Structure 1
Amino acid sequence: MKNILLAVTGLSPQVITETLFALHQQNKTVDAIHIITTRQGKEKINAHLLSPKDGKYYQYLKEYGIDSATIDFGFGNVHTIKDSNGIEIDDIEGEEENEWLLRQCLELAFSFTKDPNSSVFFSVAGGRKTMSSCLMLAAQFYGRSQDRVYHVLVSPEFESNREFYYPPRESVPIELKDKNGQRYVKETKYARVNLIPIPFVSVRDRLSESMLTEPRDPATLMLSLVKEKPYRLTVDLSSSKLIYKNVELDMMPAKLAIYAFFALQKKDCKKEATSCRGCTDCFLDIQDIFERQQEIGDLYRKIAGMREFSEMSKSGILGLNAENFNSYKAKIRKDLERG
């Protein structure tokens, strides 16, 4: 399983080596590192982490005996947030920049979670709060069971020091500042770098396959999750009512009998389809309807429930012909439009 560290950072590249150190301390291997940041953040990473001569990233690997060839991390793995014209942005200052940031987070999260043989470690420890929020949202949309979200907590006095990148193997004194700005010296052996797993709820399994073919914007992803509750049509013969979407419609027995007849025809149809549009599998022509007059009459009797058939008029519901059937159909349509 290939482990990919996907992190956000601002102007403090230390969070990358601190996170890497914390993961290694828990015996978690990292095979690739990808960073989302601003133009200024990229310059900080290139200068302080990836400098071939004195980059803290390479210094950390050498000190802890880790072969740099085992981790895919270089200038090309630093993904700078760009505006709509492809220009790198300096900071996240407003809603528009935040949208560009979120797009970058979603695109990379989508890309890295496509491979079933990989796991992604989403690090939300760096950058502005909006950066960690956007990466967390990307994890919730695309994260899988093998993926994890992590935060890193560093002892406050060391966290605020720009010279501290990780606890070195051999403790060294480092100059710090207290909360009043007074300088003092403390050994790095007292630094605590803790990896904190953050629980998250992934909605990936609720997304349709079409939503997982390419990165989507948050609005589209959210809309795909909002599935309207399926409504059922209820034909209540005992109370002579139709009920649909919590709306009740009273209907005269003769009209309800005809409506119920066609509703049952549809209910008994064996064809599985999401829509009846263009389908004629359960269609009945006028002659078919006349031949099944008895079924309509039985439904009418259940609804009316009073007189014997022999006492009922042969010119109404019990004596359907083209003329009165079309009349009933028009009246039913009018009732439905009114309801």
Structure 2
Amino acid sequence: MSHSQKDLGPESHTLLALVGGSPQIISESIYALYEQKNVHISEIKIITTAKYKAQVLETYSEVQDNGLTILENLAKDYNLPVLKVHSADILVPTDSSGTAISDVKTESEMNAVAQCLLDNVKHLTNDPQRSLHASLAGGRKTMTFYLSYAMSIFARPQDTLSHVFVSQHYENNDFFYPTPYSKKIISSKQIIDAQKGKVTLANIPYVQLRPSLPKRFLSSPITMKDTELVFDILNRPLSLKIDITRCELKCSGVTIQLTKANMAFYLIMLDDLLNGHEGFDCPTTADESLAVLYIEKRLKIEGIEHKLVNLTDAIEVVENKYLIFKDNEISGLKQGLKKSFFNDRKNKISDSLRAKLPENIAEHYDIDIISKVKKAGSTKPYNYFGLNIDKAVVRL
């Protein structure tokens, strides 16, 4: 039975191979991953150019003397999953005009390779049931660089990057893997034994940035320019600029759009940062004073400065004087600001930050625990929330 993507198991292993003029690296990689890591490859994806696609397909479709293909023989010899190389599994990058590239020499061709590898590594690593094994043994050096780059961006701890080497005299068109029995092949006009060939898998270490990526990188299309921006953000000094009327935060130069409700809540935390930094505990019962603060900030977003005396005064003002609130927003505040409202605002602000910022940058601008306070009659300390960023970097 051949394996295809639709029947990949819960512990599936996909080989993503760069291939140039030596398609042997596919079978060599499958063999080496099994021999050295006991990894059973269950799917193959190949990145090559239009120049070599037909050669790869022909090499792995052609039957040998015993009526089996190279991969069928490999599976039989080592009790591995039976694999087939289909035309759809051989991916050729296309340039901006949609033309399949035949080489990787021009800027347009390099951009096409970079985008193709970003897209495919992202897609393959978004499946939690799949481990990706990327091989950079084939293809041009530019392709190997971009594969390493894409793996650094998207790969997870279970994914690997490797290179395969074969012993001297076995780098030829007739050697595909060491057979477990004697098999004569021709190399440089001399006869050698495939059984005596050696294939070595070299693991390539790389930095994994996936945990730090903005969330949109994993859910939306991205370009090389997007990835360059992330590296730029990581090296920028922290800065927080607030545009109240637009409901925008500019964090390390990146604009974060908030709803009016979330902006009002963030302004409460910002005022606390700039004036005492005591923080707020998440209310266990509806909190009237927090509701008043929230309504004052919502009015400020609308350009209205109004000092409110208490919650009764606040509700009367917004219901009878400033008709700018939605009914459900006011009705939820009439008894005070509730735990669900507090957590909902906090979580949605966090999501907005992490959608556009790397994790280790977003956490500087997020609402988080700033202290733990033990209250009378309680055995557990209460978490007090606020902003942890240095107020010196804040600009209104």
- For the superposition of Structure 1 and Structure 2, which TM-score range results when normalised by the shorter chain? 0.5 to 0.7
Q: Is the 8 A contact 1:50 1:58 kept in 2?
A: no
Give the deviation of 1:199 after TM superposition.
0.8
Cα distance in 1 between the residues matched to 2:21 and 2:273: 69
The question of 1:59 aligning with 2:73 is answered yes
Aligned ranges for residues 13-162 of structure 1 at < 5 Å? 13-26=23-36, 27-51=38-62, 55-68=69-82, 71=83, 73-159=85-171, 161-162=172-173
Q: What letter corresponds to residue 20 of structure 1 in structure 2?
A: I
Residues 232 and 101 (structure 1), Cα distance of their counterparts in 2 relative to 1, 3 Å cut: closer
Residue type at the aligned position of 2:275: K
Out of 179, 200, 209, the residue aligned to residue 168 of structure 1 is 179
Number of the residue aligned with 2:14: 4
Distance 1:73 1:46, change over 3 A: closer
Q: CA deviation at 1:232?
A: 8.8
Structure 1 regions of 5+ residues with no counterpart?
178-182, 234-262, 287-339
Provide Cα deviations, 1:206-235, integer angstroms capped at 9, x if missing partner. Answer: 1111222124112212212433322599xx
Answer with 1 or 2: which has the greater Rg: 1
SS in 1 for 2:26: helix
Seen in structure 2, the aligned counterparts of structure 1 residues 206 and 232 have a Cα distance that, compared at 3 Å, is closer
Q: CA deviation at 1:175?
A: 2.9
Please name the residue that 1:193 is paired with. 199
Q: CA deviation at 1:39?
A: 1.5
The aligned length equals 250
Structure 2: how far apart are the matches of 1:121 and 1:145?
Answer: 11
- Percent identity, please: 28
RMSD (Å), alpha carbons: 3.4
Query: For the residues of structure 2 that align with 1:36 and 1:23, how far apart are their CA atoms?
Result: 19
Map of 2:228 onto structure 1: 222
Contact 1:207 1:221 survives alignment (8 Å): no
Deviation readout 1:65-98 (Å, 9 max, x if unpaired)? 4342xx4742221112222232222221222111
Q: 1:280 Cα shift?
A: 6.1
Deviation at 1:267, TM superposition (A): 2.9
| Long gaps (5+) in structure 2 | 1-10, 242-270, 280-289, 308-396
Q: Equivalent of 1:267, from 264, 267, 275? A: 275
- Where 1:49 maps in the other structure, the secondary structure is helix
1:97 to 1:232, Cα distance in 2 relative to 1, 3 A: closer
Please give the alpha-carbon distance, in whole angstroms, between the structure 2 residues aligned to 1:60 and 1:156.
21
